[in-house]
Amino acid sequence: MPVYQAPLNDIRFVLNDVLNAETLSTLPGYEETASPELTDQILEEGAKMCQEVLFPINMSGDEEGCKIENGVVTTPKGFKEAYDLFAESGWCGVACDPQYGGMGLPQTVNFVMQELICSANMSFGMYPGLSAGAYDAIYLHGTQEQKDMYLPKMVEGVWSGTMNLTEPHCGTDLGLIKTKAEPVEGEDGAFALTGQKIYISAGEHDLTENIVHLVLARLPDAPEGVKGISLFVVPKFLPKQEGDDWVPGARNQVTCASIEHKMGIKASATCVMVFEGAKGWLVGEPHKGLKAMFTMMNAARLGVAMQGLGIAEVAYQNGLAYAKDRLQMRALDGVKAPDKPADPIIVHPDVRRMLLTGKAFTEGARALALWTGMALDTAEKSGDHEKAEEAEDLVALMTPILKAYFTDMGFDVASLAMQVHGGAGYIWEYGVEQYARDARIAMIYEGTNGIQALDLVGRKMGQNFGRNLRRFFHPVSQFIEEHQANENMAEFVFPLAKAFAKLQQSTAMVAQRGLKDPVEAGAASSDYLRQFALVAMAYIWARMAHKAMEKLEAGEGDKAFYESKLHTARFFMTRMLPEADARFKMVMAGASPLMDMPAEGF
């Protein structure tokens, strides 16, 4: 049976020692919610919820899956009870506005909770995760009436939310959307939506009393393409007011026609939704729906990045537990367990390579994610326009990098955990093959990782005349300059400096060639994103190594913990960062190796 323990010690190290997250308490609205003491209490309780409530129903949920009968979808045994406890404990509103019943905690804390939830039960996490995105869209773009009607219920968790984008004939190319929205005569402000949406996560289920769909559709006068898309809120049950409360009223004309039979996340209902004149109301301005929907999508992309991290963490933990317990052969340099018939497989170099890859990724990715989370908090809350702008630029830059790299590695680490298990890894009862199946979708939805790479080179690189890039390049340059004379840091700073110089070189090449021929930028995009991600990981690992050295020199804390940090940092710099050089060479090769072959040659 699989195991999971929330990595709270590592989270504390990143928040308190490396990132000094206590500084978030200087932001307006976080004065009382960002203290290390409160954060620690919240995360302790969150860890208990994930370990004791969500994790035990992960495998059973995968085995049972969701079921549909006459349009009614039921989630696996235990999910409804777990969700009720989750909602009653306030976890649906971690980072939501207290005005609507939320905890008002920093997004950085919410990032941590997203990781813990996805490690414990990724399928379960889809339900509140989609609601959080719908909350954001209404909070930022809805009318005050819409906010008052929907947000308290969504924060309370008794109503949930979805995002309805994809149609059978269009996925990434949203300009092809056909769902139409026509004004309802005699009902000021209401529209009748007609069309079909597919791959709608949490589109129908039995966890909440109402489901609030956010739907992209076209008005009758809509121009062609993405400039003609509007966003609508379409509830499953039309809200009606009883006193000061909103309750579900008449059933709307939106139904679930079927659910998908998927490779993974089987306890998450992925639905085909049919709108047959369903009543909806405009969110934001007409024909500006894509902008409003991207509020959800950008938040969702960071959430999906945390799914990759969460799956990698639990897969790594299970690979490690198995490697310490499984006896096979003797160590190459002599017997390590003379009292046993064979040594545990953790003595073998290749097993250590696989485990250290998981450890180096998860610990580095966690720090990189929370660094980005702090920037998101600054962007949202800072009263200083310049600081908020800087932080917003960094978040925009890092979003496609985190989404693509974290989810690629989430699947890779899950696959490595299977490999550590050998034949047992391929067997359902051991649990790790589920992690590989669950992880695979994260590389696809919320924009495939190839789309993330195109977003990076096509939009984020040149955005604001390259200002986004400077938000990352400047702190890296400053760190290298500050520590390059420190002999103790040489083994971390010099590899970072070399990789960073090549990233700057490939950035210039992609920009120059891409201006002349966009195919050149497209051909380089995936390798460039991977190179960028590895340099970002090297930067954050160098920061963690420096802090671990400081703790060891001061004789503070757990010596073994900080020594492990340095060992893992060395592994990353010597065994994982060199991939950045290979990616650099791929980027510099240009488009011709990809594009010169005629289609008939394949």
Residues labelled catalytic: 446
Closest among 315, 431, 395, 303 to 362, alpha carbons compared: 315
Residues 6+ away with beta carbon under 8 Å from 300: 129, 130, 133, 163, 446
Closest among 10, 17, 118 to 406, alpha carbons compared: 118
CA–CA distance, 54 with 2 (Å, rounded to integer): 13
With contact defined as beta carbons under 8 Å apart, do 138 and 233 qualify? yes
Residues 6+ away with beta carbon under 8 Å from 156: 87, 92, 93, 101
Q: How far is CA 223 from CA 5, 282, 346, 476, in A?
A: 52, 17, 61, 44
Q: Parallel, antiparallel, or unpaired: how do β-strands 159-164 and 210-217 relate?
A: parallel
With contact defined as beta carbons under 8 Å apart, do 214 and 293 qualify? yes
Residues 6+ away with beta carbon under 8 Å from 148: none
Question: What token pair was written down for 61?
Answer: 């949920």
Question: What token pair was written down for 307?
Answer: 């799914």
The angle that helices 385-421 and 432-440 make with each other, rounded to 10 degrees, is 140
E-assigned strand segments in 105-151: none
